[in-house]
Amino acid sequence: MTLTQLRKLKREGEKITCLTAYDASFAHLLEQANIDILLVGDSLGMVIQGHDSTLPVTVDDMIYHCQQVHRGCQQALLMVDMPFMSYATPNLALKSAARLMREGQAQVVKLEGGGWLIETVQLLTERGIPVCAHLGLTPQSVHQIGGYRVQGKTERGAERIRDDAVALQTAGASLLILECVPGDLAAEISALLDIPVIGIGAGAGCDGQVLVLYDILGITSGKRPSFSKDFLQETGSIPAAIEDFVKAVKEGTFPGQEHTFK
């Protein structure tokens, strides 16, 4: 899977599938289900390391897990989160991203944030580093935004996300993730942009869907996000749960209204 193929899927109206992965064994299972994108998420800070946020995760942590996932990844596009403060300045972002690609074997790096990242996105893409932008609920800014809350519910908030999405695409972003935004806004942005838009808690109008692997298997400690679904409960086996997620996204049956914010 390449960025060119993902853009083709968007043009043809075929939904894109993405799940997080943190090791070679799960990466292999995801490959068997023909997942389009494997995301080595900084969510590992919570589901693997046991922290209460993603903030303690380091670049070395991400490289370690990206190396493991790469060993089990033959077909999917391999994307990795840049952890908290690893891209605080454009030059630091370039250094961190270079390590994630050279040592971790990532193919795309993902950054959280809006307009302030434009110079960074331009620098990375000019240097041959593909970027996925991330708007809406940005977990690395959880303390600043006051918790894990839906973003873009007001007209002003929606306009800011919309404007940031266009600006980041113009700056060179190859993909966009929208997290926890109203479904109508996400659908509007997906139609507005040429690059694929992947939703998580952003409704069925996006070009694809991403979830945390441990959420779809029902093994995340604490309360599962309302926009997620326990596919293991319905299928009874891990491979079947992953395959069911892929099928549900491709056929447009997930997410449903019960997984969508208004």
Active site residues: 179
- Sorted by sequence, the CB contacts under 8 Å of residue 237 that are 6+ apart come out as none
Cis peptide bond upstream of 182, omega within 30: no
Look at residue 56 and give its three-state secondary structure. Answer: coil
Between CA 158 and CA 164 the distance in angstroms is 10
Q: How many CB atoms lie within 10 A of CB 13?
A: 8
Report which DSSP code applies to 120: H
What would the two tokens of residue 1 be?
A: 């899977």
Between CA 4 and CA 194 the distance in angstroms is 12
User: In residues, how long is the chain?
Assistant: 262
Beta-strand runs (E) in 90-191? 108-112, 131-136, 175-179
SS (H, E, C) 68-109: HHHHCCCCCEEEEECCCCCCCCHHHHHHHHHHHHHCCCCCEE
